A and B are shown apart, each in its own frame.
Chain A
Amino acid sequence: MMNNDKLVVEGFKLPSTAPITPNERDWIDMLRCIVGDADPPPTLLGVQALRRALA
């Protein structure tokens, strides 16, 4: 198993791998409403929109 501690470089933080929260469930529900059964991966445009919205 990969040890995340060894991957942390000072000044950088890996995204958490914790279980999803109720707020994150809401995000997933929203995505499912938009895409139906398509299950698309994050795209550059999607991530950019996400970052703008969360900025």
Chain B
Amino acid sequence: MAKKPYQDTRLAKFVEARLLELKHKKTQAEVAEEAGFVNPNMLTIIKKGSTKLPVDRVPALAAALDCDRALLLRLALEQSEGSTITAAIYEIIGPPITKNEMAWIIEIRAASGDTDPRLTSRASAAIRAVIGK
């Protein structure tokens, strides 16, 4: 069977995983409807990697999947533009930061007294030991 063009993208895997997590709350057809997809099979097509998620659909799908829109935007850009162009976009306008990531930044600012600390290997190891489990 021919390989689907977006089958191995992080977005396809993320959408599939998120739909599974939401399974007890709403059906895939309900998510598709909430996201404004006319074709209820669109999510199947996206999660199988047959097509990419249009970037203009990110806000609606993020709301329907109950996930952070910045996270979904990152994955959608990566899928549609590729990592090189995505990196260039981030270089110019900065990467989209999720609400949870901003919460981490606020904690880092509070813990450091707003001194803009550099990431050290000690700090990295300490964080990895706690949240990398």
Contact = CB atoms under 8 A, between A and B. Distances in A.
Interface of A: 13, 15-16, 19-21, 23-28, 30-31, 34-35, 37, 39-43, 45-54
B74 to A, nearest CB: 9
A6 to B, nearest CB: 19
Interface in B96-117: 97-98, 100-101, 103-112, 114, 116-117
A46 B97 CA distance: 19
Contact of A42 (B100, B112, B122): B100
- Chain B interface, >50% SS class: helix
A31 B104 contact: yes
Contacts of B126: 49-50, 52-53
Contacts, number: 100
Interface residues of B, number: 40
A53 B122 contact: yes
